[in-house]
């Protein structure tokens, strides 16, 4: 089976977004690490690793269906942040962009009657919903905890719990 050219081009364009997400999370993890937010750093390193698996799923799929996956060119990501809350807001924005791109890919695949690609993309529809919900919940929680003297400690612990929960889910 050969992938329609328009779908191949759109999937290649999407690779940039998955790799940009990897870069973003890695930059955030490093900022958290340098500030001593160990729990948050651990969570964001895991997010970054997860983006690599997303990237590779798209990359391998393109080649599997007779296309040619190309390594994208990327800009340096933002490397400093005002607060942990800001890192969550930027992450939600980045994930919303990825979601829009996945929806656009589905539209293109549908127009080209490419059912295989539509089936492939369904996993990412679920995945994106999860990612967006995770950051929305986190932002609400951080806003609830507030910015009192002990707030940062609790926020870092809350985010660490997410990293631990993910590690548990990955071993299932
Ligand atoms: Mg992703």
Q: What is the pLDDT of residue 98?
A: 98
**Full-model pTM:** 0.92
Q: What is the pLDDT of residue 172?
A: 44
Cα-based distances in Å from 103 to 5, 91, 118: 18, 18, 10
CB 3 within 8 A of CB 67: yes
Task: Please state the rounded mean pLDDT for residues 127-142.
Answer: 95
Instruction: Calculate how far, in angstroms, residue 94's C-alpha sits from the geometric centre of ligand 1.
Output: 9
Instruction: Calculate how far, in angstroms, residue 36's C-alpha sits from the geometric centre of ligand 1.
Output: 26
Instruction: Calculate how far, in angstroms, residue 5's C-alpha sits from the geometric centre of ligand 1.
Output: 23
Four-way CATH pick for 5-170: 1.20.1260.10, 1.20.900.10, 1.10.510.10, 1.20.120.530: 1.20.1260.10
Q: What is the pLDDT of residue 147?
A: 80
Instruction: Calculate how far, in angstroms, residue 92's C-alpha sits from the geometric centre of ligand 1.
Output: 11
Position 106 pLDDT exceeds 60 = yes
For residues 129 and 161, the model is more confident at 129
Cα-based distances in Å from 4 to 8, 25, 54, 116, 165: 6, 32, 21, 11, 39
Task: Please state the rounded mean pLDDT for residues 90-109.
Answer: 98
> What is the CA 70 to chain-centroid distance, rounded?
19
Position 165 pLDDT exceeds 90 = no
Provide the phi-psi class of 79: left if phi over 0, else alpha when psi is between -120 and 50, else beta. alpha
Instruction: Calculate how far, in angstroms, residue 149's C-alpha sits from the geometric centre of ligand 1.
Output: 34
Instruction: Calculate how far, in angstroms, residue 10's C-alpha sits from the geometric centre of ligand 1.
Output: 16
CB 66 within 8 A of CB 118: no
Instruction: Calculate how far, in angstroms, residue 95's C-alpha sits from the geometric centre of ligand 1.
Output: 7
Position 170 pLDDT exceeds 70 = no
Instruction: Calculate how far, in angstroms, residue 148's C-alpha sits from the geometric centre of ligand 1.
Output: 33
Which 8-state DSSP code applies to residue 147?
S
Report percent pLDDT > 70 for the chain: 96
């Amino acid at each position: 089976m050969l992938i329609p050219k328009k779908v191949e081009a759109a999937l290649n364009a999407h690779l940039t977004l998955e790799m940009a997400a990897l870069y973003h999370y890695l930059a955030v993890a490093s900022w958290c690490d340098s500030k001593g937010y160990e729990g948050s750093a651990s969570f964001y390193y895991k997010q970054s690793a997860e983006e690599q698996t997303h990237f590779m799923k798209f990359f391998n799929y393109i080649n599997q269906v007779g296309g040619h996956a190309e390594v994208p060119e990327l800009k340096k990501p933002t490397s400093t942040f005002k607060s942990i809350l800001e890192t969550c807001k930027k992450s939600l924005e980045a994930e919303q962009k990825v979601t829009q791109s996945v929806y656009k890919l589905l539209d293109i695949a549908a127009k080209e009657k490419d059912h295989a690609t539509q089936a492939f993309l369904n996993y990412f529809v679920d995945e994106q919903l999860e990612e967006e919900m995770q950051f929305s919940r986190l932002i609400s929680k951080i806003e609830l905890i507030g910015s009192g003297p002990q707030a940062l400690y609790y926020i870092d612990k809350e985010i660490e719990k997410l990293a631990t929960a993910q590690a548990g889910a990955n071993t299932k």
